[in-house]
Structure 1
Amino acid sequence: MADGGVAGTRGVSPTPERPAGPPPADARPAPSSPADVVAAAAAAPDLAALADVVTTCRACPRLVAWRRATAADPPARYRGQTYWARPVPGFGDEHAGIALVGLAPAADGGNRTGRMFTGDRSGDFLVAALHRAGLASQPTSEDRDDGLVLTGVRMTAPVRCAPPANAPTPAERRTCGPWLARELALVDPRVVVVLGGFGWRALLTTLDEQGWGVPRPRPAFGHGVELTLRRGDASLVLLGCFHVSPHNTFTGRLTPQMLDAVLERAKALGGGQPSSSAATT
């Protein structure tokens, strides 16, 4: 089977619960090296084209193997479902004032459903908060065809494939970096809410490469950290927030009230305003 979805077997007949998504990866040229990623990201004229090419990427062999192995041997509750098992594109408003930058898709979340922060507990926690903030049309994110619309906010990540142990290598982050850079350039947010230290470090690297005035030494991540960067006459505000992982939310390290406060601050700084065209790309 090409990278067009992988059915978890274990003796259960596949029962796809959603459309197949983009054409199989072998129907389009697939980026298969860091240089390919750089060229393909730069050539994407808009977010739809970027999403199409992101989903074909095979530039990190370890991640390709892991995303497919996870899909082929899922937990019991997902047996028989057809996993997305491809890189996951960004999702949300094409003209968002706020970008949400996480880490990478979850093995049985985004890697299963094909949408950022969808189908797992992290997504449940985050989307409920976005709904309370008036940025999401509904409080749940279960499936990429569930009708969720984000207004004024876009979800993305530095790494687009589910990594083993939720730990991409530095080389994988560097290889995947051009996808994030191109998405930010196309969206042009005013505020970025960064979920966790990995996303913070990866984002600062990307912004530094884009010519933003990232301080030296680079500011450390922390919940509630606020950093304003400038590039010519433009400014961009970064807001640090603990990641919405179950490890943080179940232990109370990150509470709904803490996340709500970060999102309200992002809105107050000029992000999250309704765009002329809320999108579900």
Structure 2
Amino acid sequence: MARGGRDGQAAGLRGGDLLGKACRGLGRGEPPPADRGPGARRARGNRTGRIFTGDRSGDWLFASLYRTGFAVQETSVHAGDGQRLVGARMLASVRCAPPANKPLPEEKAACYPWLQREIELVADSVRVVVALGGYAWQAMWPALKDAGYGLPRSRPPFGHGVEVPVAYGESQVTLIGCYHPSQQNTFTGRVTAQMLDDIFHRAANIAK
């Protein structure tokens, strides 16, 4: 599955070459994960060497993480630019650039064990999980379960600001839904900078 995009996947990227590499998570080894997005941030993370780096959605995300204390810089350009997360970790449910930005079932299945294992490795210190977008929300439920989390019997529908209590052993953890800062969402006003900041401020308050 470690490959670049197909069908013009690289079109519109800001400089550089598309790398056929899987994009790993970013952040401390023992964090409360700040967020989870769908696809490595697609081709951009595969090209720049860092998740959510190299496109406008990443610009929005890192700016919000910086404003809310989860990142040391407002921007993320490439893997060696000095950016780092503070008390947080980013995970990707699909780690390579999917064709037409739509991961195939076999691609999701190929990446799933890595997602589940990464969640499991940091579970002892996690207090909040923010799922960016509906796909991330859906992907998180089986991954949390297989990583040893206790989940409610019914799965609430995804929505911005939706909070669901889950548990890891005796620790209480909160799963929060957040609209994805895609260009479609930010251009139409469905997602604003304040909306992102509110989610991450809420996550910080819960994690205290």
Q: How far 1:227 moved relative to its partner?
A: 0.5
Report whether the alignment pairs 1:234 with 2:171: yes
Report whether the alignment pairs 1:131 with 2:66: yes
Q: How far 1:75 moved relative to its partner?
A: 4.3
Query: How far apart, CA to CA, are the structure 2 residues paired with 1:219 and 1:191?
Result: 17
What is the match of residue 54 of structure 1? Answer: none
Query: How far apart, CA to CA, are the structure 2 residues paired with 1:91 and 1:175?
Result: 20
- Cα 1:257–1:146, aligned 2, differ >3 Å: closer, same or farther? same
Query: How far apart, CA to CA, are the structure 1 residues paired with 2:186 and 2:14?
Result: 22
Query: How far apart, CA to CA, are the structure 2 residues paired with 1:262 and 1:76?
Result: 28
What is the match of residue 178 of structure 1? Answer: 113
Of 250, 258, 264 in structure 1, the residue corresponding to residue 187 of structure 2 is 250
SS of 2:34 mapped into structure 1: strand
Report whether the alignment pairs 1:225 with 2:172: no
1:219 is aligned with what amino acid? P
SS of 2:65 mapped into structure 1: helix
Report whether the alignment pairs 1:262 with 2:186: no
- Cα 1:75–1:230, aligned 2, differ >3 Å: closer, same or farther? closer
Report whether the alignment pairs 1:162 with 2:97: yes
Cα pair 1:228 1:236 within 8 Å, conserved: yes
- Map 1:207-226 to 2 at 5 A: 207-226=144-163
Report whether the alignment pairs 1:147 with 2:82: yes
What is the match of residue 39 of structure 2? Answer: 104
What is the match of residue 28 of structure 1? Answer: none
What is the match of residue 67 of structure 1? Answer: 5
Cα pair 1:98 1:266 within 8 Å, conserved: no
2:60 is aligned with what amino acid? F
What is the match of residue 41 of structure 1? Answer: none
Q: How far 1:97 moved relative to its partner?
A: 2.0
* 1:182-240 residue CA offsets vs partner (Å, 9 max, x unmatched): 11122222110100110011010111223322223322111000011124312221010
TM-score norm. by structure 1 comes to: 0.68
Q: How far 1:74 moved relative to its partner?
A: 4.7
Which structure has the greater CA radius of gyration? Answer: 1
Cα pair 1:96 1:187 within 8 Å, conserved: yes
Q: Percent identity?
A: 47
- Cα 1:239–1:83, aligned 2, differ >3 Å: closer, same or farther? same
2:108 is aligned with what amino acid? R
SS of 1:67 mapped into structure 2: coil
- Cα 1:77–1:199, aligned 2, differ >3 Å: closer, same or farther? closer
Cα pair 2:6 2:99 within 8 Å, conserved: no
Query: How far apart, CA to CA, are the structure 2 residues paired with 1:217 and 1:112?
Result: 38
TM-score norm. by structure 2 comes to: 0.90
Cα pair 1:192 1:236 within 8 Å, conserved: yes
Gaps of 5+ in 1: 1-56, 59-63, 272-281
Query: How far apart, CA to CA, are the structure 2 residues paired with 1:215 and 1:114?
Result: 36
What's the C-alpha RMSD, in Å, of the aligned pairs? 2.1
- Cα 1:77–1:113, aligned 2, differ >3 Å: closer, same or farther? closer
Of 89, 110, 115 in structure 1, the residue corresponding to residue 50 of structure 2 is 115
Gaps of 5+ in 2: none
- Cα 1:149–1:76, aligned 2, differ >3 Å: closer, same or farther? closer
Report whether the alignment pairs 1:202 with 2:139: yes
* 1:249-280 residue CA offsets vs partner (Å, 9 max, x unmatched): 11110101111010001000116xxxxxxxxx
1:244 is aligned with what amino acid? P
SS of 2:207 mapped into structure 1: coil
Cα pair 1:103 1:199 within 8 Å, conserved: yes
